[in-house]
Amino acid sequence: MSVASLRRAVRESVSGLPREFWWLWTSTLVNRLGAFVATFMALYLTMERGHSASYAGLVAALHGLGGVVSSIGAGVLTDRIGRRPTLLVAHVSTAFSVALLGFMQDPAAIAAVAFLVGMASNASRPAVQAMMADIVRPEDRVRAFALNYWAINLGFALSSMAAGFIAEYSYLAGFLGEAALTLACAVLVFLRLPESRPVRGAEGSGAEAEHVSLGAVVRDGRFMGVVGLSFLIALIFQQAYVSMPVAMGADGFSSSDFGIAIAVNGVLIVALQIPVTRFIEHRDPRRLLVLSSLLAGYGFGLTAFAGSLGVYALAVCVWTLAEIVNAPTQTSLVVRLSPVHGRGRYQGMYTLSWAVASLTAPLMGGLVIDRYGAEWLWAGCAVLGTVAALGYWALMRGLSPEAPEAPEAPGAPEAPGEAEGPEEAKGPEEAEAPGVSSGTPAESAAERAVEAGA
């Protein structure tokens, strides 16, 4: 591919998105660059503190439980007090709790603070997704969510490499580094991101929460079906970080072998997320979700036949492609099914499905491996993928690819149009990346992305 073709491809992938999106994207990248605790918590507890593996598992479970608890609460706050205040509270709380965790010595105190870290760090997700839905046009959302997911994985890949060297020097430095970067996210949100929550007319003020209650979310059958299918998909993907290393170890592979195999996931996402998203952006989401569910299930199912590192890497390639297709498509679907003034609660419920899966998957995977063997676990993943594919096919019947967004809850005043976002938001023709001054159409965020090596 020529340089001109590459520049044109990148321009088409990132152009037309508002400035606020790029500041939100930047905050996501900075936040993930500091992902130290999630990566090295187990090693910190077992090698640095000398605790048992079972204690490390308990702390990890409490960290996940904190995420479960905060998912719904953060969704409610996102709708009640706004996206920006929720993000600020989440980032500041995460920064202080992570720093505090680095100084904890007592096992009970470590477990309690890890629970708080899980609550705080997960609380930002519904607000980020709701704000992104607010500020990006419906036709651009799949692309926007894909770019955000790309930033998450790029940041995580870079932080994992850097964190390994930091941990050799000082685990405390890792905790404080994550706290500093998370606090930087809070500053970025405070300085650059305006509130994006749609504002009702005077006749609807003060009654907003009553129109889209948590009960209304639970009674939304199609949406809750998507949440249930999302839980099945999350159960499959979570096996990569719990059951896969255990199975590889039982087969005689080393930790470095697992590191090589799982690194394929990050490399492929960084390399393929943007071009694949360009290909799928305007295609039928039902077909994409069915295909990604089958690829996820049978990608992990392929692991049952892995007798070499190459086959493990091949299996990772298959389910990584599923992840690349599923993540932006499913998140965009959640937005389409969400009433405008209930996006926070809907995103909170969607986030809950992944948080619960992060708790359930380790227990389920370990139990199946211990009692029946890893082959049965991988076969079960294939079954779950098939069930999810059938579920998406049935659930999304009648939902056209270009269907309008879900209407506001019954009885609610008419919500503002999609054009009504933050007051400072610009139209697509005026959209710029952070810090880019207006110029000719060619001087777009895309060219900055090329120059920055994005």
Rounded CA separation 412/400 (Å): 25
Q: Are 27 and 189 in contact (CB under 8 A)?
A: yes
H-only helix segments in 47-170: 53-80, 83-103, 107-122, 124-135, 141-169
Strand runs labelled E in 347-439: none
Amino acid at 228: G
For residues 19-45, b (16+ Cβ closer than 10 Å) or e, as one string? Answer: bbbbbbbbbbbbbbbbbbbbbbbbebb
The CATH architecture that domain 217-399 belongs to is: Up-down Bundle (1.20)
Tokens (6 digits) for 130: 């709701």
Choose among 14, 1, 3, 26: nearest CA to 277. 14
Tokens (6 digits) for 160: 């994992």
Instruction: Please give the chain's pLDDT, 454 residues, in tens.
Output: 566 665 676 676 777 899 999 999 998 888 888 777 776 777 788 778 888 867 877 887 888 888 888 988 999 999 889 999 999 999 999 999 999 999 999 999 999 999 999 899 889 989 998 999 899 998 888 888 888 888 888 887 787 677 777 877 888 888 999 899 999 999 999 999 999 888 765 444 444 444 678 888 889 999 999 999 999 999 999 888 778 888 888 888 886 788 788 888 888 988 888 888 888 888 889 999 999 999 999 999 999 998 899 999 999 999 999 999 998 999 889 988 988 888 889 989 998 998 888 888 877 888 888 888 889 999 999 999 999 999 999 998 877 555 444 444 433 333 333 333 334 434 333 344 333 333 333 333 333 333 333 3
Rounded CA separation 42/59 (Å): 9
- Concatenate the DSSP letters of all residues of 220-272 into one string: -HHHHHHHHHHHHHHHHHHTTTTHHHHHHHHTT--HHHHHHHHHHHHHHHHHH
List of residues 6+ apart from 453 with CB closer than 8 A:
none
Rounded CA separation 383/406 (Å): 31
Tokens (6 digits) for 125: 């997700």
Place of tokens 């998140």: 331
Residue 394: DSSP 8-state: H
Amino acid at 341: H
User: Chain-centre distance of CA 379, in angstroms?
Assistant: 26
User: Chain-centre distance of CA 242, in angstroms?
Assistant: 18
Tokens (6 digits) for 32: 């993930």
Homologous superfamily, domain 13-196: MFS general substrate transporter like domains (1.20.1250.20)
Rounded CA separation 164/33 (Å): 13
Amino acid at 254: S
List of residues 6+ apart from 7 with CB closer than 8 A:
446, 447, 450
Residue 387: DSSP 8-state: H
pLDDT at 413: 38
Residue 1: DSSP 8-state: -
Tokens (6 digits) for 238: 């979570």
Domain residue extents for the chain: 13-196, 217-399
- Concatenate the DSSP letters of all residues of 161-213 into one string: HHHHHHHHH-HHHHHHHHHHHHHHHHHHHHHH---------GGGTT-HHHHS-
pTM (predicted TM-score): 0.71
Choose among 363, 342, 431, 416: nearest CA to 130. 342
User: Chain-centre distance of CA 345, in angstroms?
Assistant: 16
Rounded CA separation 220/217 (Å): 5
Rounded CA separation 133/121 (Å): 20
pLDDT at 84: 93
Return the number of other C-beta atoms located less than 10 Å from residue 173's C-beta. Answer: 14
Q: Are 12 and 278 in contact (CB under 8 A)?
A: yes
Place of tokens 């799949």: 142
Tokens (6 digits) for 72: 């719904």
Q: Helices 255-280 and 243-250: crossing angle, nearest 10°?
A: 140
Q: Are 29 and 128 in contact (CB under 8 A)?
A: no
On the question of a common fold for 13-196 and 217-399, the answer reads yes
Amino acid at 399: L
Amino acid at 128: V
φ, ψ of residue 361 in degrees (nearest 5): -60, -45
Place of tokens 């799982």: 262
Rounded CA separation 169/218 (Å): 48
Return the number of other C-beta atoms located less than 10 Å from residue 281's C-beta. Answer: 18
